[in-house]
Amino acid sequence: MTQPNRELARRWRLVLGRYADRQLPAAAADAALDATLGYLYDHEYVARGHRHAKGGGGSLDPSALTALTWLSQARGLFPASTLERMERDAVTRYGLDDLLSDPKTVDALEASPALAKALLRCRGKLNPATAAGVRRVIARAVADILARLRPVFSTSLTGSRLRSQRSRHASSHNFDWRRTIAANLSHVDPETGRMLVEEVRFMARQRRRNLQWQIIILVDQSGSMADSVLHSAVSAAILAGLPGLSVRLILFDTSIADVSHLAADPVEVLMTAQLGGGTDIAQALAYAAQQVRQPSRTVVALISDFEEGGSVSALLAVTRGLAASGVRLLGLASLSDEGEPWYDHGVAARLAAAGMEIAAMTPDRFAEWLAEVTQ
């Protein structure tokens, strides 16, 4: 057998696992890979009615591995991206509840945002005994996101930029592109038109005073919105801790859950969220309109895929009313797991015409937008 064919046979052997024993003998060097993959993906074959193959060489039964030793072994065999996928499959596809029932195993899991989102989507289908483990994984993922986003929100919203003053603090949020271009005009290559940047300018900041803004965050919790719910909960928690901002956090599908009293606790918000169901954006915006105290000092941020299940005309009417009253409206389009915008372009365009700014932006860009709006 040629080397390419030998490698192809090896890969098929790893894909098929014990069910290929008779046709494709296992290589001794692949024993650990075979056992680790078999522990997880043999569940797929069993679910389809297959029985374990006998003979054709030794094999390691899944029962010989525990969830904790499987995780430890997998971590040493697979790259991080592959391991994350395997962990998600284990928890959400094959119901390996022992991964979430044992505290030691939970601590060994890579608490990535991807796993947290997967748990949010399938939380209602998991064994109740896993609730504590689910909370711990989500809490760790939230802590990582908080650590990354809190400085961004704090810098953006507690200090205003001063173009008249230069700063030695090199930060992308303070980058002064106008002064940077002006300072480097003498370094333009006349043939290519390219500028060699030798001096980078940044703006100074001063602490903003007398901020009194009401921020109302409406989060669509339909099934495709796990990523947006996760980041919205974290963003609301950060905003709730900043001076001069009053935050209301409202989750909605065809009903409304005002979780403003939990806004400072993103983990509790996420454990309360119920992903799935229909979408009634008009009803949610109408509820937000009832909470507005001072329109000219209020921002309503709608995070949704804009796939309205209710009356679009009612949605446009309440949007026009809020815009006319002076409320600043931002519609944040949901993002796919790959970071691509995922939303109903037709409804979004009509909302924009009615007075709502529509954008697809990451949470750090949302912080910058809020800072611009609430100057």
Higher pLDDT, 249 or 45: 249
pLDDT at residue 273, as a whole number: 86
Q: What is the pLDDT of residues 109-151, one digit of tens each?
A: 778 787 788 778 777 667 777 888 889 989 999 999 999 999 8
pLDDT at residue 48, as a whole number: 59
Given a cut of 50, whether residue 61 has pLDDT beyond it is no
Given a cut of 80, whether residue 211 has pLDDT beyond it is no
pLDDT at residue 351, as a whole number: 96
Which pLDDT band holds residue 52 (cuts at 50, 70, 90)? low
Q: What is the pLDDT of residues 307-319, one digit of tens each?
A: 999 899 999 999 9
Residue 204 DSSP class = E
What phi, psi does 197 have (nearest 5°)?
-85, 110
Helices (H), ranges, 80-130: 80-88, 98-101, 103-108, 113-122
Given a cut of 60, whether residue 190 has pLDDT beyond it is yes
Closest CA to 158 of 234, 232, 231, 210: 210
Given a cut of 70, whether residue 181 has pLDDT beyond it is yes
Cα separation, 106 vs 133, in Å, equals: 6
Which pLDDT band holds residue 97 (cuts at 50, 70, 90)? low
Given a cut of 90, whether residue 100 has pLDDT beyond it is no
pLDDT at residue 338, as a whole number: 61
- Asked if 63 and 46 touch (Cβ cutoff 8 Å), the reply is no
pLDDT at residue 146, as a whole number: 92
The share of the chain scoring above pLDDT 90, in percent, equals 31
Which of 13-22, 27-36, 183-192, 252-261 shows the highest mean pLDDT? Answer: 252-261
Supply the pTM of this predicted model.
0.67
Closest CA to 117 of 229, 250, 221: 229
Cα separation, 141 vs 130, in Å, equals: 17
Mean pLDDT of the chain: 78
Domains and CATH numbers, the chain: 3-108 (no CATH), 162-207 (no CATH), 213-373 (3.40.50.410)
pLDDT at residue 70, as a whole number: 66
What is the average pLDDT across 18-44? Answer: 64
Which pLDDT band holds residue 19 (cuts at 50, 70, 90)? low
pLDDT at residue 16, as a whole number: 58
Which pLDDT band holds residue 9 (cuts at 50, 70, 90)? low
pLDDT at residue 207, as a whole number: 46
212 to each of 158, 180, 329, how far by Cα in Å?
12, 33, 17
Pick from 61-70, 73-82, 245-254: least confident: 61-70
Given a cut of 50, whether residue 64 has pLDDT beyond it is no
pLDDT at residue 337, as a whole number: 55
Given a cut of 50, whether residue 60 has pLDDT beyond it is no
Q: What is the pLDDT of residues 239-297, one digit of tens each?
A: 998 888 999 999 999 999 999 999 999 999 998 888 777 899 999 999 999 999 999 99
What phi, psi does 303 have (nearest 5°)?
-105, 115
The beta strand positions in the chain, using DSSP E, are 159-166, 203-207, 213-220, 245-252, 256-258, 298-304, 328-333, 357-359
Q: What is the pLDDT of residues 330-357, one digit of tens each?
A: 999 887 656 677 789 999 999 999 999 9
Helices (H), ranges, 292-333: 312-325
